[in-house]
Copies of this chain bind each other. A is one copy, B any other.
Amino acid sequence: MQRVSSSLAPEFSLSRIAFGLWRLTDWGYSPAERVSLFERMLDLGVTTFDLADIYGDYRCEQFFGEALRLKPQLRERIELVSKCSIRLAGEASGARINHYDTGAAHVRMAVETSLRDMGVEQMDLLLLHRPDPLMDADALAKVLETLVQEGKVKQLGVSNFLPHQFDLLQSRLSSPLVANQIEASLLHSVAMFDGQLDHCQQHRVIPMAWSPFAGGRLFSGTDEDAVRVQQELKHLSAARGLNAEDGPMQLALAWLLKHPSNMIPVLGSGNPQRLEAALSALELELDREEWFELLRAGRGRDVD
């Protein structure tokens, strides 16, 4: 599989498609079954695994770690991405209200807990999960760089940061922020127009796309926008002679993959057949007219 890297950190690379584990606790797999799934992904070249401390109500990282302990040699084949800074209300965090915490104490605690839960010594990429209105960029930069120096984190990035939030944090860091994980799909293409992806392209930041299928709406949504996209995807899938079941998904991915920012879609299915089918998107090259037809379906209007 293709790899994506950035001149910001030339030796660091991610797989062109990432494996999202935010529903790992829902899939009902035993630890041994998880190992099988991970191995299948790795064998397909999907080496970037995306997690966050809060996924599965703070349990996904433990589920990952439980599997990894069965086969520790998988660790070196994976780029392990995790996130911190959201605190969900509830027993697990002890918080009364969903909130953000980019304070140094919480970030250090969260990273160390993640490492312990996953049973690893380092995460390859740590993302600040959400922009925090209380972000003290000097203090945050200091703890992030310390975590890098201590070897607990290899590379730094953010998620859902707007350009000005990215620039503020980057202005205090000597290490580059190498990635920004944002929402992007045929039903949520605003990042292609409002500067988010232009900022990534300009500064050679790797975008990762969460919810690349709009949380399923792309295939099963019943709202007007979703239905219009479904029709266009079906039409194009038939025109291309693709499998009726997988074609729409492959085209939706190919649409993201064509964006010049080298966006990495994060696929969160626990069904290995479906994941494997999705990877065929890498061989689909949409032409510009097809791409703009899909864009029109997604936005419900022609370009100006």
Please list the residues of chain A having a beta carbon within 8 angstroms of any beta carbon in chain B. 87, 95-101, 103, 130, 133-137, 139, 160, 162-165, 167-168, 171, 189, 192-193, 195, 198-199, 201-202, 258-260, 288-289, 291-293, 295-296, 302-304
Quick one: which of A171, A192, A202, A292 has the most chain B CB within 10 A?
Answer: A292
Q: Kindly identify which residue among B130, B164, B199 contacts A304, using a CB–CB cutoff of 8 Å.
A: B130
B202 engages A133 (CB within 8 Å): no
Q: Kindly identify which residue among B136, B171, B202, B293 contacts A168, using a CB–CB cutoff of 8 Å.
A: B202
Q: Kindly identify which residue among B164, B193, B295 contacts A163, using a CB–CB cutoff of 8 Å.
A: B164
A97 engages B193 (CB within 8 Å): no
Q: Kindly identify which residue among B103, B167, B260 contacts A134, using a CB–CB cutoff of 8 Å.
A: B260
A-B contact list, 23 entries, CB within 8 Å:
A87-B288, A96-B293, A97-B292, A97-B293, A97-B296, A97-B302, A98-B292, A99-B288, A100-B288, A100-B303, A103-B288, A130-B304, A133-B192, A133-B193, A133-B295, A134-B260, A136-B260, A137-B202, A139-B260, A163-B164, A164-B202, A167-B202, A168-B198
| B residues near A96, Cβ cutoff 8 Å | 289, 293
5 tightest Cβ-Cβ pairs between the two chains A and B: A99-B292, A164-B195, A136-B260, A133-B192, A168-B202
B130 engages A259 (CB within 8 Å): no
Please tell me how many copies of the chain the complex holds: 3
A198 engages B164 (CB within 8 Å): yes
| B residues near A95, Cβ cutoff 8 Å | 289
- 11 extra interchain contacts, Cβ-Cβ under 8 A, other than A87-B288, A133-B193, A168-B198? A96-B293, A97-B292, A97-B293, A130-B303, A134-B258, A135-B260, A136-B260, A162-B195, A164-B198, A164-B199, A168-B199
Q: How far is the CB of A99 from chain B (nearest CB, A)?
A: 4
| B residues near A302, Cβ cutoff 8 Å | 97-98
| B residues near A162, Cβ cutoff 8 Å | 195
A64 to B129 CA separation, bound complex (whole angstroms): 49
